[in-house]
């Protein structure tokens, strides 16, 4: 009687069973740990909460569009004004600054980087932008322009609701700035991987104790 070729502690290979999926790895090939995933989730949460500050700044710094009513209709107080474009520009500039600062803080706290941190910056920046947009439009002037015009009366200037005309592009400003700045900092100032030894490189000759 011959012993089986397969060791008893290992199941025989089943060609119909797919191989187990490989573990998630980072850019350097190292597996992504649970601690890195937690750090990425923490970055997402903090960035999203920071969107409240962005919303408050946008609400106070964005130029306002002024309206006026003659009792029959509502019109722009300055038809040639650029306040609407200025509101979008203010949001984008603030979002770019928030993304750059977030990337700098994350890099200083975690120089090694990693995929979860970059994803956390991107996702948190998007959520923070959405929160800022909601705060600016909810706590600013009412969006019921007709009722507002009736409340203030004819020939009285009042503020239009705060809006983002290029909302889709504005929502991407924070995530893009965060990822670009973080990747740039990691590429320039991040730790370097050791260079692999080249094959065929001659080893230095060491004289043995019995040779002269």
Tens of pLDDT, residue by residue over 75-121, are 677 666 566 788 899 999 999 999 999 999 999 998 877 889 999 99
Enumerate residues 6+ apart whose C-beta is below 8 A from 72: none
Could you give the residue ranges of the DSSP H alpha helices within 62-203? 83-109, 115-139, 145-152, 167-189
What pTM did the predictor assign?
0.71
- For tokens 């947009």, the residue is 133
Tokens at residue 2, please? 């011959």
The mean pLDDT of 56-65, rounded to a whole number, is 91
Q: Which residue has the higher pLDDT, 12 or 160?
A: 160
DSSP, res 6: S
Identify the H or E element spanning 69: strand 66-69
Q: What is the pLDDT of residue 79?
A: 63
Query: What's the whole-number average pLDDT of the chain?
Result: 80
Q: Which 3 state secondary structure label does DSSP give 75?
A: strand
């Amino acid at each position: 009687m011959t012993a089986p070729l397969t060791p008893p502690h290992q199941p025989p290979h089943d060609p119909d069973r797919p191989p187990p999926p490989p573990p998630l790895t980072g850019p350097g090939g190292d597996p992504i740990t649970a601690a890195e995933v937690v750090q990425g989730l923490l970055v997402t949460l903090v960035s999203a909460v920071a969107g409240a500050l962005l919303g408050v700044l946008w609400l106070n710094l964005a130029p306002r569009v002024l309206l006026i009513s003659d009792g029959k209709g509502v019109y722009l107080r300055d038809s040639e004004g650029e306040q609407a474009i200025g509101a979008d520009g203010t949001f984008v500039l603030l979002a770019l600054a928030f993304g750059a600062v977030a990337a700098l803080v994350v890099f200083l706290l975690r120089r090694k980087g990693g995929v979860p941190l970059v994803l956390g910056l991107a996702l948190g920046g998007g959520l923070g932008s959405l929160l800022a947009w909601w705060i600016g439009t909810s706590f600013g002037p009412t969006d019921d322009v007709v009722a507002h015009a009736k409340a203030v009366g004819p020939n009285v200037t009042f503020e239009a609701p705060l809006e983002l005309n290029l909302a889709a592009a504005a929502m991407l400003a924070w995530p893009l700035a965060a990822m670009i700045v973080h990747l740039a900092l990691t590429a320039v100032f991040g730790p370097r991987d050791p260079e692999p030894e080249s094959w065929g490189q001659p080893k230095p000759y060491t004289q043995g104790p019995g040779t002269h």
